[in-house]
Amino acid sequence: MRVAESIGKFVQFVSRKSELTPEIAGCDLSCSLYLISPFFFIVPVGKALWTGSSHPSAPACRHGNEPPASANQSLRCCGPVRGPSTPPDAHRGTMNTGPSPKKLLLSVSVLKKSVLNHTPPQSLSTIVTCEFTGLFLPTGLCGGSASGKTTVARKIIEALDVPWVVLLSMDSFYKVLTAEQQLLAANNDYNFDHPDAFDFSLLVHTLRKLKQGKSVKIPVYDFNTHGRQKEWKTVYGASVIIFEGIMSFADKELLKLLDMKIFVDTDSDIRLVRRLRRDITERGRDIEGVIKQYNKFVKPAFEQYIEPTTRLADIVVPRGGGNMVAIDLIVQHVHSQLEERKLRWDMAALASAHQAQPLPQTLSVLESTPQVRGMHTIIRNKETSRDEFIFYSKRLMRLLIERARSFLPSQVHIVQTPQGEDYEGRTFHGKRITGVSILRAGETMEPALRAVCKDVRIGKILIQTNQDTGEPELHYLRLPKDISEDHVILMDCTVSTGAAAMMAIRVLLDHDAQEDKILLVSLLMAEMGVHSVAYAFPQVKIITTAVDKKVNDLFHIIPGIGNFGDRYFGTDAPPDWSDDDMDEPSC
């Protein structure tokens, strides 16, 4: 009891100390890697953020610290020291980041503007950082638990201002304990702060797949049962994927995946207080048990496994989330990497890039017979009634799917006719056919696909344009299981810029679909969209009934067909409708 009382007084003392110095107040971290997702581009492995070899002209930090003299020396930035009256952002460094990060191309992700542990969405380049605290706490490798990793991660994410972010915790990769090990854990006698406590093979496999732009399933560890929950979380990679863990530098294969490594250095007393607060309030442990585990496992593990890895860090961040100068440096570097990889959809440049270029060989246009021209005349006519629009659209869709069906592989197949004679025909040569519609207009093509392909499996993707950034965003996804060997028919009624189609194709590739087995079918496409898709995915076959040459300033196809979904479902607004009408109360 005396130990508990002493610890309680110590907690109160440091809590008062934290109130006086915001830099050491409430961070909830442990060691973090910032994996800036994998999608189309990969950052060279091992690229340092600020080293003498790669940046010989790097300036000194604003507090007089010189840049490291060699590639093996870490940058240590002290940052500002603030009192309680100083606004939190008063000493933030000025960033010249070029275009707003909101204008960066964001690839598919299921998360939007949130930082969530273990949960996902989809993505772009790969910069990995691992943040750790100087003295130790719970888990080894460059900065102990409760060092402020999560706070640093959140502040970096806020400063980046990128819509889709995944925060992935190394805690998810603890090994499942046996019955004997669970008894030890219940008595605080199991060492969770040792490299052997983590499933590094699964961790390395997961990060490697993320760097390849693949979707992954992440286990969710339950600290109460010391096992993994039944349901795993799916991660698609995002604009920014942050991986945080205390043993992030403990495995050689894992280190090879990291392009930038950050060590978060926080005072050991503060880390101990945070660990006590976290384990008691969140994990239901008592003070004696936490202190016992700290002295027996946490502190020795920090000294043996974590503190020595400081030399591997590219940047050392003292005081965790309170060091805004260091955080600004990291944010500037991330912005520069995103800019270098041109992750922004510049639609104006895209619109002019294809001019005077021949249509790609992967494009197949339905023969413009009088019948096809007649149907186009009807559905393009703004005076066409909704019933006629639906009828002739369905006829055209059926012809389009039949055309797409001819691009699927076939093999010779001999059958016997009722007259007893052999007939040499052909049959589909593949595992399965899966149809995926891009909602909502693409869903109208599903009946035609079902009519042509018996027992076809159907998936759906909802992609909408962000009105602020102009970028496509994934809002909903439902795909059949195991499409890795399937021939996938991706359906959207119109393709103008190709942005939504490219995002949908990226989703399919993330789910292990093969690029050369994807067919993009659309009633009407613009040349701009055709070139964009063909350039990004040269093995995808593109099938359409017509290609229009232009798009207007709003990226609508010209002459076009109008908003297909509105005309088909009858949701198009009357000519005299205006936004002001929304303010009128209904009777």
| Average pLDDT of the chain, as a whole number | 69
Asked whether residue 207 is domain-assigned, the answer is yes
More confidently predicted of 246 and 8: 246
- C-beta separation of 164 from 296 below 8 A: no
* CATH at 241: 3.40.50.300
pLDDT value for 144: 63
377 and 291 fall within a common domain = no
Please say whether the beta carbons of 147 and 29 come within 8 A.
yes
The answer to the question of residue 91 being in a domain is: no
CA distance 543 to 367: 11
CATH code for the domain in which residue 434 is found: 3.40.50.2020
- Say if residue 360 is in the same domain as residue 289: no
One domain for residues 392 and 360: yes
Q: What integer pLDDT is reported at residue 40 of this predicted model? A: 29
Read off the pTM. Answer: 0.52
| pLDDT for res 97 | 32
124/227 same-domain check:
yes
Q: Assess whether 361 and 257 both reside in one domain.
A: no
pLDDT at 340: 60
Residues 195 and 133 in one domain: yes
Mean pLDDT of 532-547: 89
What is the pLDDT at residue 140?
27
584 is a domain residue: no
pLDDT for the residue numbered 464: 79
Q: For the chain, what is the domain count? A: 2
- Domain hosting 379: range is 348-412+422-571
Same domain, 463 and 542: yes
Please name the amino acid found at residue 528: M
Give CA separation, 274 vs 16, 26, 200, 383, 556, in Å: 13, 7, 26, 69, 55
pLDDT tens per residue, range 163-217: 556 677 788 888 888 888 888 888 878 888 888 888 888 988 888 877 766 677 8
Judged by average pLDDT, the poorest of 79-83, 140-144, 339-343, 529-533 is 79-83
Residue 142 has pLDDT above 60, yes or no: no
Domain shared by 236 and 116, yes or no: yes
Say if residue 39's pLDDT is above 60.
no
According to the model, what pLDDT value does residue 278 have?
78
Under 8 Å between Cβ of 518 and 502: no
92 inside domain: no
pLDDT at 337: 66
User: Is 564 inside any structural domain?
Assistant: yes
Asked, for residue 582, whether it belongs to a domain, the answer is no
Least confident of 236-240, 371-375, 497-501: 236-240
Alpha carbon distance 208, 254 (integer Å): 9
Residues 261 and 405 in one domain: no
pLDDT at 143: 61
- Whether 115 is covered by a domain: the verdict is yes
Residues 282, 353, single domain; the answer is no
Give the pLDDT mean for 507-514.
86
Which has more pLDDT, 351 or 395? 395
Residue 494: Cβ-neighbour burial (10 angstroms; 0-12, 13-18, 19+): buried
Q: Is residue 187 located within the same domain as residue 326?
A: yes
Q: Is residue 583 part of a domain?
A: no
Cα–Cα distance, 570 to 556 (Å, whole number): 19
- Do residues 121 and 202 both lie within one domain? yes
- Residue 397's SS3 state is helix
**Confidence band (pLDDT; 50, 70, 90) for 412?**
very high
